[in-house]
Structure 1
Amino acid sequence: MAVEKKNQTTHMRPGQSRGQTTLSTGAPPPAPKPRPRPTAIPAPPIPSSTQSSDSERSKEGTGKILALINPSSGRAPWMPVAIAEAKLRGGETELTLQDKINYHIAIDDGFKSLYGATNAWCAAFVNWCLFQAKYPIDNTTFFDRRYAKARAHGFYEVRGPREKSEKSAPLVRNPLFVELDKPIYGAIAMVTSRSHHGFHVGFVYAKSGAKELILLGGNQNQRINFSPFSIALSAPYTERDESGKTKKRNGSRSYLRYFIPISYYERAKKDLSNDGLEEMNSDKLNHQMGIKNEKPKNSATSIT
């Protein structure tokens, strides 16, 4: 059977016609990483702050966990929003958190609940933080504009405008975001499976050893917290902890890809050229910021 055009990924920017395929911010952004042509992703049915001033930065500059990174002016403006929200919620689980704030409803992505295996809210939290920082999150003319905001993979691919001659809307690169070749502070990190599909997102906060990054995100143990994620696909390996003891690690079945809002690209280039992520420990970060992070009794997880 012939492959339909709907399975092809097109690169578009706001106000760009189908024939044009280059994102532009005044300077060309990095080319997206090569990946296999995606299969069609059906759009499933839609189910019926303030900035923190508590800086605990190390006066010596080394050797101590930093509970809050103080970014320079204009650096990742959504991060103070995410950090303040994490501290405010204190590790409260989604079942009770949704009575105080529901990120799905706040960004109008079509979902009504944070709780449950089919209501993943990691992407909703990231989009909520971006929206609070005045960054656009909605491709208003696109086919699945609402549901795309609830999908982790939506930072990379979405269903674009549908032509009259097409049976379904094609997959296109999300024109609101640019992919980076390496992580920077505040980048949107998409946890990606071996099949190249994103199933979780959070903000890059720090590094944890050579193989992991610490992401600040929602729906991590059903909470907003700091959690480590593997940078790349890997086989089982061993490493030493802070006390010098050897630990066996299972390796990773996923890897990270990095995105930033297209309007932030010029600022991001400064970090790409001269920025290094700080070394931190996710457990200590959660503790110092008052975030409870024990595994919930109902540990059902959801992916997008």
Structure 2
Amino acid sequence: MAQYSVRPGDNPSKIAAAFGMTLDQFQNANPNLVEWGTGKWKVLFPGQLVNVDDAGAAGPIDQAPAENNNAPAGFAAPPPWMQIAIMEVGVQEWANGDNPRILEYLQSCGIGGNLLHDETAWCAAFVNWCVQRAGFKAQHSARVSDWWSWGRPVVPTYGAICILQPLTVDQAGSGHIGFLHAEDDTNVWLLSGNSHNQVRIAPYPRSKLIANAPYRWPF
């Protein structure tokens, strides 16, 4: 057995075929990739190491060069803000009082006073806090509609800021925003804040993506 580092666009069937393995063989070599009891495959992410049959390798998996697909260059997987965001998974609103961590997210956008509590819509504030802590220029806004033109547009890329509709200019809680973790045929999987009142990885329908450049990357 050898190890292969997952790249954007990979899936279990594609990897197995590239290394001359059946899907069952690939699953047996990577039992931790399948949920116990359901048999469902877990989400693969770029940079993840999986076991493959090096003897059956047919060559590298075909992938378009970065210069031809507008994929951001210069970042190892995961991007620095994703490393920060992943460490926040599980942060959630408190039933009594306010979670001080969520208040930090909101304060990174300049929010204070009567709006400084963990029931204020904070998905955009979470993105702002992560990007800012990673040393990049953030939007400094907790309103999703302020992020649609932030940074630069990119193709779906692990760690890209992903924006969902609906968007209105007068409601901070309109729409949703998070970091792209993975994709399937019908969903984008986002690592985001204020997702069922917590930071978590969860699927959202592709139909909810904003129509124009839903994936953004810092300059």
CA shift in 2, pair 1:153/1:66, >3 Å: same
- 1:35-74 to 2 correspondence within 5 Å? 60=29, 63-64=33-34, 65=42, 70=47, 73=76
2:205 matches 1:230: yes
Secondary structure at 2:156's aligned position in 1?
A: coil
CA shift in 2, pair 1:95/1:136, >3 Å: farther
CA shift in 2, pair 1:223/1:75, >3 Å: closer
- Separation in 2, partners of 1:194, 1:121: 15
Secondary structure at 2:121's aligned position in 1?
A: coil
- 5+ residue gaps, structure 1: 1-57, 139-145, 157-172, 233-253, 263-304
CA shift in 2, pair 1:221/1:74, >3 Å: closer
> Which residue in the other structure is 2:84 paired with?
81
CA deviation vs aligned residue, 1:24-43 (integer Å, no higher than 9, x gap) = xxxxxxxxxxxxxxxxxxxx
Specify the code of the residue in structure 2 equivalent to 1:114: D
Specify the code of the residue in structure 2 equivalent to 1:98: D
- Separation in 2, partners of 1:219, 1:183: 22
Q: Do the aligned partners of 1:94 and 1:222 also contact (CA within 8 Å) in 2?
A: no
> Which residue in the other structure is 2:218 paired with?
261
- Separation in 2, partners of 1:194, 1:66: 28
- Separation in 2, partners of 1:69, 1:97: 38
Q: What RMSD over aligned residues (CA atoms) do the two structures have, in Å?
A: 3.3
- Separation in 1, partners of 2:123, 2:165: 14
Secondary structure at 1:82's aligned position in 2?
A: helix
2:146 matches 1:113: no
2:176 matches 1:200: yes
- Separation in 1, partners of 2:167, 2:106: 28
CA shift in 2, pair 1:193/1:106, >3 Å: closer
Specify the code of the residue in structure 2 equivalent to 1:199: G
The count of aligned residue pairs is 149
CA deviation vs aligned residue, 1:199-258 (integer Å, no higher than 9, x gap) = 210110012x301011110111111111111113xxxxxxxxxxxxxxxxxxxxx32411
- Separation in 1, partners of 2:99, 2:167: 36
> Which residue in the other structure is 2:99 paired with?
99
CA deviation vs aligned residue, 1:4-43 (integer Å, no higher than 9, x gap) = xxxxxxxxxxxxxxxxxxxxxxxxxxxxxxxxxxxxxxxx
- Separation in 2, partners of 1:96, 1:203: 28
> Which residue in the other structure is 2:4 paired with?
none
> Larger helix proportion, structure 1 or 2?
2
- Separation in 2, partners of 1:105, 1:194: 22
Q: Do the aligned partners of 2:124 and 2:144 also contact (CA within 8 Å) in 1?
A: yes
Secondary structure at 2:157's aligned position in 1?
A: coil
Specify the code of the residue in structure 1 equivalent to 2:82: M
Q: Do the aligned partners of 1:193 and 1:199 also contact (CA within 8 Å) in 2?
A: yes
> Which residue in the other structure is 1:150 paired with?
142
CA shift in 2, pair 1:66/1:255, >3 Å: closer
1:185 to 158, 170, 180: 158
Secondary structure at 1:104's aligned position in 2?
A: helix
> Which residue in the other structure is 1:286 paired with?
none
Q: Do the aligned partners of 1:187 and 1:203 also contact (CA within 8 Å) in 2?
A: yes
> Which residue in the other structure is 1:162 paired with?
none
CA shift in 2, pair 1:261/1:68, >3 Å: same
Q: Do the aligned partners of 2:164 and 2:177 also contact (CA within 8 Å) in 1?
A: yes
How far does residue 132 in structure 1 lie from its aligned partner after superposition? Answer: 1.2
CA shift in 2, pair 1:96/1:123, >3 Å: farther
> Which residue in the other structure is 2:9 paired with?
none
How far does residue 94 in structure 1 lie from its aligned partner after superposition? Answer: 4.8
> Which residue in the other structure is 1:291 paired with?
none
CA deviation vs aligned residue, 1:98-141 (integer Å, no higher than 9, x gap) = 333111024424441121xxx21000001101111111115xxx
- Separation in 2, partners of 1:108, 1:75: 28
